[in-house]
Amino acid sequence: MQDTGNIPDASAVARREMVDRQIRRRGVSSPRVLEAMASVPRHEFVPAEFQRDAYADKPLPIGEGQTISQPYMVAAMAEALELTGTERVLEIGTGSGYQAAVLSLLAREVITVESHTALALSAQERLTDLGYTNVHVHNGDGSAGFPDAAPYDAILVSAAAPEIPHVLTGQLRERGRLVIPVGSRQNQELVQARKENGELKSRVLFDCRFVPLLGRYGWGRPGGESL
Residues near ligand SAH, by CB under 6 A = 62, 66-69, 92-93, 95-96, 98-99, 113-116, 119, 141-143, 158-159, 211, 213-215, 218, 222
Q: What share of the chain is helix, strand, coil (3-state, %, to 5)?
A: 35, 30, 35
Task: Give least dist CB 74 to ligand SAH, A.
Answer: 6
Task: Give least dist CB 47 to ligand SAH, A.
Answer: 12
Per-residue burial over 43-70, b if 16 or more Cβ lie within 10 Å, else e, is bbbbeeebbeebbeeebbebeeebbbbb
Q: Which helix (H) or strand (E) holds 175?
A: strand 172-183
Task: Give least dist CB 138 to ligand SAH, A.
Answer: 9
Q: From CA 222, how far away is CA 113, in angstroms rounded?
A: 13
Task: Give least dist CB 120 to ligand SAH, A.
Answer: 8
Q: Are the CB atoms for 36 and 102 separated by under 8 Å?
A: yes
Query: What Rg do the C-alpha atoms of the chain give, in angstroms?
Result: 16
* Residue placing its CB nearer to ligand SAH in the complex, 41 or 142: 142
Q: From CA 87, how far away is CA 66, in angstroms rounded?
A: 28
Q: What is the DSSP letter of 161?
A: B
Task: Give least dist CB 7 to ligand SAH, A.
Answer: 20
Nearest residue to 136 (alpha-carbon basis) of 167, 117, 112, 166? 112
Show the CA angle centred on residue 1, arms to residues 22 and 71, nearest 5°.
15
Catalytic residues, by residue number, are: 69
